[in-house]
Each structure stands twice: as structure tokens, then as C-alpha cells.
Structure 1
Amino acid sequence: MTTVSAFSGIIAYDPLRHVAQRYSPASTASWWPLLVYGPWAVASLSILRAALHQRRALHSWAVVLLFSFAGMLLCVAEAPRHYTDMTAAALPTVAALACFQQMVRCITLTRPLRRAKPRHRNHGQPPG
């Protein structure tokens, strides 16, 4: 999963930088892809943490999906207007997202279920 995500980030870096060069100064264009992959990475870590603690991470999944979709759209917009080229531009983002989802699924399926502990003590019953 890490290799696929890193490889897709490397592939998508150049198209995202080209988009940024049109709208921002040249000195900041090389850092611009971090606006897409920074929130994606942080939300991914949040999802992994939630999976390890058997909690839900709906907000983090929304961030991952939003920035995956944004990165994919920007890469497709930069690709030549042929179906094959547009598919090749979208594939790294889709592959990274699919690998990440499968890794989270593996974590949640291999972790044994925790027993639910009561949140509050029963104060109405005497001890003993």
C-alpha cells in the first residue's frame, strides 16, 4: 500500500505542478501538490489510527475521498484528450485509494473485537 501510494504521488506530482504553474508563482508551484497530498496523508493516518482502535473515521474518509477526487480531476485535466491517456492519468489515484481501503479492511478484519466496557458505573447498587 505504501509503495503504491508513494508511486502514485510521484506520478501525479508533475501534472499537479503543471496546473499550479499556470495559477501561482514559479517559486511555490513545486510545493503546490502538497495541497492535495498533505490533507490526504493526514486523513489516511487518522483512518489507520481509527482502524487500529476499532473506531469509525467518517470525516477522515470524506477528506481522503475529496482530495483523491480533486487530485484525480486535476491530473485528468492535464492529460491529452484521449480515453487511454485520461484513464492512465486517473489510474494512480484510483490504485492508491483502492490499496489504502484494502489495507484498512485487513486491519479491521484481523483485529479481535474488544469487549464493550460500561461507560458509567452503576451508582444505584451498593458495593459488594
Structure 2
Amino acid sequence: MQSRTVGVEALMQEIGLPAAGFHPQVIDDRPEHRSRTARPAGRRADVMGSLIGFLTAAVVTVACILGWAISYHPLQNVALSRLPRNLSQYWPVVIYGPWMAASLSVLRAALGGRKVANSWTIILVFAGIASALCIVDTPSTMPEAVVAGLPPVTAVVCLQQMVRQLLAARQVSQDDVRQAPSHRASR
């Protein structure tokens, strides 16, 4: 494309306004003349943001898997007193199934920029149930109760931090879109 003048004066005269004092703006659309100063810093921030987002997702995944693995047997032991052995091995899914579904709902809402209080309520209720049932299965010393009850809480806290990052990243990208100059408006 070639340089061109924006016809502000012609437009002003066409709608009946005085064009005195207005100077046409030159827009150069050639790639070699586009500004390159703001992009490298923005690109580095984008790469770092993506890296931090990936690391956060990895930490959340590991914390959730470890929390599930650590609390699986205490939950299964609680179910053994009431259920046959073949059913008790699947009983922890009754606790973690709704928790996982609500977690996915919260992540989807965060990507869409929405908040879902009902899903957070489900997550908190089932994490509380999992913690309480894990604590019931342990001896009554404080350190053992903390070790048993902390994994579901850790998973909730990690999930909440990931959602906060997703919402913050979404807000930044929306701000960037709003601040980006629109060349179409000047054509």
C-alpha cells in the first residue's frame, strides 16, 4: 500500500463545518514503516505471561493429582465400613466427581470472563466433605489431622489462584484490544 492522506478537510467541508486549522494526517501502511518499538516489549510480556500461565496450570494439575492420590485411601477406608470392598474403591469419585465438574465449570467461566458462585459453592462443599472425611479416618493428633485434611484444601486454593490468573489475563487482553489504534476508522 502507498501513503495516503486522510481527507479530514474534505469531510469537514462536505458536512458544512469549517476546515480551517485542520491538517491532513499521513498514514503509512507499508510494513517497513510501521512502528516496531512497542512490539518487542509486548511480545516478551506475552511470552512470559504464557510461560507463567503454563507453569500455573502444571502446578495446579500436580497439586490436584497429589491431593486426590493422598486423600483417596482415607476416603476409601471411610467407605469400607459401609460399602462392599468392590464399591468402596470407587466411592472417592462420589466426592471428587462433583468437585471436578464444578472446577471445570469455573475454569470455563473464567476463560469467558464470567463468575460462577454456584460452582465455587460446590467446590468448597465437596472439598470440605473430603477434608472432614479424611480427618475422621486419622488418629486425633493435630499434625495427622492437618496432613489428612490439607490436600483437598490445597487443590481448591491452587484452582482459585489459577482462575485469578485467567481472569487477569483476560482483563489485560481486553484492555489491549480497547487501546489498540484502529486503522480502519481513519480510512
TM-score band (shorter)?
Answer: 0.7 to 0.9
Work out the percentage of aligned pairs sharing the same amino acid.
37
* Aligned pair partner of 2:79 in 3, 12, 20: 20
* Aligned pair partner of 1:3 in 62, 67, 77: 62
Question: Which amino acid in 2 is paired with 1:26?
Answer: R
SS of the counterpart of 1:23?
coil
* Aligned pair partner of 2:140 in 81, 89, 96: 81
Are 1:29 and 2:83 an aligned pair?
no
Match of 2:100 in 1: 41
Match of 2:157 in 1: 98
The answer for unaligned runs of 5 or more in structure 1 is 116-128
Of structures 1 and 2, the one with the larger relative CO (CA 8 A, separation 6+) is 1
TM-score by length of 1: 0.86
SS of the counterpart of 1:111?
helix
Corresponding residue pairs, total? 115
* Aligned pair partner of 1:63 in 100, 105, 122: 122
The 2-side partners of 1:70 and 1:96 are apart by: 13
Question: Which amino acid in 2 is paired with 1:23?
Answer: R
SS of the counterpart of 2:109?
helix
The 2-side partners of 1:6 and 1:34 are apart by: 13
The 1-side partners of 2:146 and 2:105 are apart by: 29
- When Rg is computed on C-alpha atoms for both structures, the one with the higher figure is 2
TM-score by length of 2: 0.60
Over the aligned positions, Cα root-mean-square deviation in angstroms equals 1.3
The 1-side partners of 2:132 and 2:87 are apart by: 21
